[in-house]
Chains A and B, each alone.
Chain A
Amino acid sequence: MRILVGVKRVVDYAVKVRVRADKKSVVTENVQHSMNPFDEIALEEAVKLKEAKHAKEVVAISIGPAKSQEVLRTALAKGADKAIHIEIDAKSAEQVEPLHVARTIAKIAKDEKFDAVFVGKQAIDDDANQTGQLVAGFLDWPQAMFASKIEHENGYLKVTREIDGGLDTVKVKLPAVVSADLRLNEPRYATLPNIMKAKKKPLEKKTPKDLGIDFTPQTEILEVCFLYLYMHLLPSFFFLPSG
């Protein structure tokens, strides 16, 4: 089994986001970024399947500006064999939707004959929870979303899923798409020797144009409004007119 793992570079989960002056998005400049926590879990599961000899190769893919290569290097340090970077400029990157990411992942999974696509269940920035399902839809592959346990048996994956009232189990035929929930595993840390080794692993660069994929946005952001959660706590003199 060859597994393609989607990884996204997002604002670190511990950062309190601020809205940009143009009110169209949040401030991302000079803010700590890291790999989306759910993608770390998806990657860890793929690497574990490889270590248990269920998978032959694990390839990480990320779509975004040049800095996305940081998360791909992290993925390589954590055990991916190869990385694919679909590069787009920073401005267009802000308008990328799960639809475009899914089109890209589906194209590569099909062209390069992957047996499974693993993704996180949602990115903690757009909170969309869509990419895995969209990939499965484009490829007409079965989907097992919100996985908390994955077992590989000849040609199938048996997946326990976290659903509203508890758990359910589905059996999906490979090739299939799986999205990882938080309790699937505990991701490992990349060790320094592995970080050094990762620098020598292959990182392939492509553009949406190379793949012939349309990145035209279908959703226009009119305004982003920040919820001042803690505002009512500010001392009231803060709001009094001076003098």
Chain B
Amino acid sequence: MLASKTPFLRYLSITGARFNSTLVIAEHDDTKLSGVTLNAITAASKLGHDISVLVAGANSGKVAEEVSKVANVKRVLVAQDEKLKAQLPERVTATVMAAQNQFKFSHIVAGASSFGRGIIPRLAAKLDVAPLSDVTAIHSDDTFSRPTYAGNAVAKVKSKASVKLMTVRGTAFEQAATEGGSAATEKSPIGEINTEISEFLGSELAKSDRPDLQTAKIVVSGGRALKSAENFKLLYDLADKLGAGVGASRAAVDAGYVPNDMQVGQTGKIVAPELYIAIGISGAIQHIAGMKDSKVIVAINKDKDCPIFQIADYSVEADLFKAIPEFTAALK
């Protein structure tokens, strides 16, 4: 009897599977799951525990159905209430806490987007634990890597927090398959939501037919050297030929050539496309932090001493106003 039990007990103590479980907080707009949640689910699967996904929103049914088909997801928790519209961090935190009180997850994960970054630390305060931001590698269920100093240094850390809370960098993990899963769906409590302290007034989202910057296979980025907003058209033409997303350096954003949600860098978006074409970008550390993991980097610049040439796989020393139209024409 004892002999037959021992391997089972040992299995339990090694994996701890019965006592550990991971919650992924889904990001969505009430109609579609955000891509970064799929990256977060892959990261969560590396922790080696059962994965539950919480879908909180005013109309979360459709998204919950989408999530239940995602590979590796065991359970979908659905919190649906009008109060959860626009998913304000104060309200979602109350909902996640209600789920946490019921299910006692050992890990809570979200994508490192403005949504995830807003919620995970607030939740961490409620649980009185130190969260981890922008995790790029999971070594075990308590050891992680994360970049610091604009990506110039990577810190390998061990978390002693009683519940491990983290945001994960989307570009560091593949997206989980959107088919093949068959998770059970159940209703989740919404918690005590105080609607008086915060209110969502509206959003102004940049509309574009081009692929999303963070998931595009090719990204074309422009810097200060483009000199004006009108000249960015050169980049848009090239991007359209390539089916690429368009990014920008902080200098181009600050000069008002493009909106700030196009900024690539330490404080903007982190991208890692197959091909990154940097045009008229000198390559400040802060910009490189946002694109250095791109598979192939092409730099077009007039100044042969600019730092971007040091990390570029292919460098073109040329006047962009001549080179870009030629490049675009050659693609025809």
Contact = CB atoms under 8 A, between A and B. Distances in A.
Interface of A: 11, 13, 16-17, 19, 26, 38, 97-99, 102, 121-122, 124-138, 141-146, 148, 158, 161-173, 176, 181-183, 217-227, 229-230, 233
Contacts of B118: 133, 143, 145
B113 interface: yes
B223 interface: no
23 contacts: A16-B152, A17-B152, A19-B153, A121-B267, A124-B266, A129-B117, A129-B133, A136-B125, A137-B124, A141-B197, A162-B260, A165-B203, A166-B203, A166-B205, A170-B200, A173-B196, A183-B254, A217-B160, A221-B156, A222-B156, A223-B155, A229-B152, A230-B311
Interface residues of B, number: 69
Contacts of A148: 260
Contacts of A128: 133
Contact of A229 (B128, B261, B288): B288
A134 B266 contact: no
A173 B88 CA distance: 14
Nearest to B161: A218
Nearest to B313: A232
Contacts of A222: 143, 156-158
B130 interface: yes
A98 B130 contact: yes
A172 B130 contact: no
B204 A168 contact: yes
A130 B155 contact: no
Contacts of B267: 38, 121-122, 181-182
A155 B233 CA distance: 44
Interface in B269-310: 269, 285-286, 288, 292, 307, 310
Interface of B: 86, 88-90, 93, 113-115, 117-126, 128-134, 143, 147-161, 196-206, 214, 250, 253-254, 259-261, 266-267, 269, 285-286, 288, 292, 307, 310-311
B198 A127 contact: no
A137 B125 contact: yes
A224 B156 CA distance: 6
A77 B152 CA distance: 32
Chain A interface, DSSP helix/strand/loop, else mixed:
mixed
Contacts of B202: 168-169
A213 B163 CA distance: 20
B281 to A, nearest CB: 15
Contacts of B196: 173
Given A124-B149, A162-B260, A172-B198, A130 B121 contact: yes
B114 A136 contact: no
Interface centre among A38, A164, A169, by most B CB within 10 Å? A164
Given A98-B130, A173-B197, A173-B198, A227 B154 contact: yes
A110 to B, nearest CB: 13
A176 B194 CA distance: 14
Contact of A143 (B90, B126, B131, B206): B90
Nearest to A141: B197
Given A165-B261, A166-B205, A227-B154, A142 B130 contact: no
